[in-house]
Amino acid sequence: MGDHAPHGREERAGVSGTVDTPDPAEIEAARVLFAQECRFVAASATIPQLPAETLPEVAFAGRSNVGKSSLVNALTGRKTLARTSNTPGRTQEVIFFDLGGRLMLVDLPGYGYAKVSKAKQAIWTETLFAYLRGRPTLQRVSLLVDGRHGLKDGDAVAMDLLDKAALSYQVVLTKVDKVKPAELTAMIEETGAALARRPAAHPVILATSSETGAGVAELRAELARFAR
Ligand code: GDP
């Protein structure tokens, strides 16, 4: 993984906490989990359409075009599991996948796409936030942030809500294959500093690339901790 290896706690800057980087056994167990059948369960556009709360859930959130679909596909080793779209902001549903009967992967609609009308954006934001607030099975949100650009306004809104809901979230930098090692280190430092004051933020920032696979095994291991 070279220079783009995910940064464990010992490498992160601007935050403090205990080191619990996944060990090789955890990495392997997570690989096996994510190689299980991943079954589409539901696509819900409104809260009443959400599927029953049968499994622990981990959700993926982020701005439109952050690379969320690509990362969900990379996690599960499938090319077409999550929607990948050339029209960011087009997909507005919350999509549920059952991973081996042990963990629900939840693909949340991307936020902050400028070309969508304000009224439409407001409706999704409401649906998205209603889901985030009112889902007892939801254990963790992976908050995807473009590794080239860092945190944006929309992310701050999402983090405010997650903090308020006391819902654990972890910032996962995407597309780090496009970022030079020194810039990535600076980005991790800067992002870590912004998270330090946020109570529900996980202290470790993962650096991932769906292109190269960097950080993907570590993200699997992090999420596998929530599987039953
Ligand atoms: P989403 O809207 O967040 O689901 O984003 P997508 O997964 O559809 O990706 C948006 C764009 O970013 C597409 O053109 C992808 O090919 C590109 N992309 C996604 N992940 C990566 C990555 O890890 N590295 C690079 N270089 N490009 C990526």
The highest-level CATH class for domain 24-224 is alpha beta
Q: What's the whole-number mean pLDDT along residues 39-53? A: 85
What distance in Å separates the CA atoms of residue 116 and residue 104, rounded to the nearest whole number? 28
Please, what sign has the CA dihedral across residues 62, 4, 105, 103? negative
Contact 170, 195 (CB under 8 A): no
Residue 26 φ/ψ, nearest 5 degrees: -65, -40
**What tokens appear for 25 in the block?**
């056994």
Pairwise CA distance, residues 103 & 140, whole Å = 11
Q: Name the residue with the closest Cα to ligand 1, atom 25.
A: 175
Own/partner contacts of 19-23, CB < 8 Å, gap of 24 or more, are 21/218, 22/218, 22/221, 22/222
Give the pLDDT confidence score for residue 90 in this predicted structure: 47
Output the pLDDT for position 154.
87
Q: For all residues of the chain together, what is the average pLDDT?
A: 85
Residue ID of nearest Cα to ligand 1 atom 2:
65
In angstroms, rounded to a whole number, what is the distance separating the alpha carbons of residues 174 and 188? Answer: 12
Q: Which among 66, 70, 105 is the best mutation to test ligand 1's pocket, defined by most ligand atoms within 8 Å of the CB?
A: 70
Bridge partners, residue 63, by sequence: 111
Q: What's the CA-to-centroid distance between 142 and ligand 1, angstroms?
A: 16
pLDDT digits (tens, 9 = 90+) for 194-219: 999 999 999 999 999 999 999 999 99
Summarize pLDDT for 149-160 with one digit per residue, the tens. Answer: 999 988 998 999
pLDDT for the residue numbered 9: 38
